[in-house]
Amino acid sequence: MKALVQTGPNSLVHREEQDPSPAAGEAIIRVEAVGICGSDMHAIHGHDPRRPVPIILGHEAAGRVLTGKLAGRRVAVNPLVVPADCPFAREGRPHLSPRREILSMPPRAGAFAELVRAPEENLVEIPEAMPAAQAALAEPVAVSYHAVHHGARLLGRPLPSARCLVLGGGAIGLAAALVLLQGGAGETWLIEPNLARRATAARAGVALARAPEEGPEEGSCDLILDAVGAAATRASASRLARPGGVIVHAGLLPGAEGLDVRRLTLQEITFTGTYCYTPGEFRTVVRLLATGRLGALDWLETRPLAEGARAVADIDAGMVAAAKLVLVP
């Protein structure tokens, strides 16, 4: 098969690789679309020791099953693999398992390739007519969906009664705003300094996409999703949260500064991490995407997998207006 292989920092080569072989309970999927994630970019830049080169990255895939009992079906691929006997899996929180694996991290190859192998139980069927690039959004949107509803549970109030705010208008932030709107949030703000990203968000249906200086007043937001995870956004979240409010932190940038621990304590503000999603949440998101409940999903752009190196360079150069870039093998 052809695959986009990372061979060193900022070095991606489209070349022939050996076809994958399915293990018991696994299937081979012909990849029709695979998104580029911020964590792929981080690894491509050479900053992720968990992903030594040479490696095939990519974990946001959709395609057609070629082998096994689902052969012929089109699917979105849940890239998170957890042994069923893990205590966290038994508790319904497999994504927190210390034994979690993810496609694109050894020992599992990623989906920047014509073929990928994955456990059959990780494959979620999609309609024959659904564009593969939209189905490839299932993974990042599931991250946002989990972040929103994890935060809503901690808030302990219905979303329609809550003023909600998202910091950052990349794919995770934009999808979080769309999930909030779909969930009926009382008010949904998205704060993003970049004008083009605000325009994309507004077109996608986020009416309150605003520059940082045009945001809501301090101490007024019940639920805040920090989809950047930098010192500046943690500081903003600390200021903007209403007493008793919740901050959901989705970023993995280095550094831990910015949180106002004193205000969090005096105002009983909750700060929580979020990572991945459950299998049930992934399925819910596939259904929401397939039935148009999250809008037209036209905030993605497709490029050929063979031109992946160029696509990555364009993202680095800030030359991609779309919130998500999807590669097509």
Binding site for a copy of itself (CB under 8 A): 88, 91, 93, 95-98, 150, 153-154, 156, 219, 229, 234, 243-244, 249-252, 254-257, 259-275
Residue (142 or 269) nearer to a copy of itself, CB = 269
User: In this complex, which beta carbon is closest to a copy of itself, that of residue 207 or of residue 252?
Assistant: 252
Rounded alpha-carbon distances, angstroms, from residue 169 to 27, 88, 231: 35, 32, 17
Please say whether the beta carbons of 326 and 133 come within 8 A.
yes
Smallest gap, in angstroms, from Cβ of residue 270 to a copy of itself?
A: 4
The secondary element (H helix, E strand) that includes residue 303 is strand 300-304
**Alpha carbon 264 to its chain's center:** 27
Closest approach of a copy of itself to the CB of residue 102, in Å: 12
Which of 89, 117, 34 is closest to 300 using CA atoms? 34
Report the nearest approach of a copy of itself to the CB of residue 267 (Å): 6
**Which lies closer to a copy of itself via its Cβ, residue 135 or residue 152?**
152
State how far the Cα of 240 lies from the Cα of 198, in Å rounded to an integer.
20
Nearest distance, CB of residue 285 and a copy of itself, angstroms: 18
Considering beta carbons, is residue 238 or 284 the nearer one to a copy of itself?
238
Closer to a copy of itself by CB, 96 or 320: give it: 96
Q: Smaller CB distance to a copy of itself: residue 19 or 218?
A: 218
CB within 8 A of 27, min separation 6: which ones? 65, 66, 67, 68, 70, 71, 117, 118, 119, 120, 123
Structure tokens at 283: 């399925």
What are the residues whose beta carbons fall under 8 Å from the beta carbon of 130, sequence distance 6 or more? 74, 289, 290
CB of 258 to a copy of itself, least distance (A): 9
Distance CA 285, CA 293 (A): 9
Question: Minimum CB separation from a copy of itself for residue 101, in Å?
Answer: 14
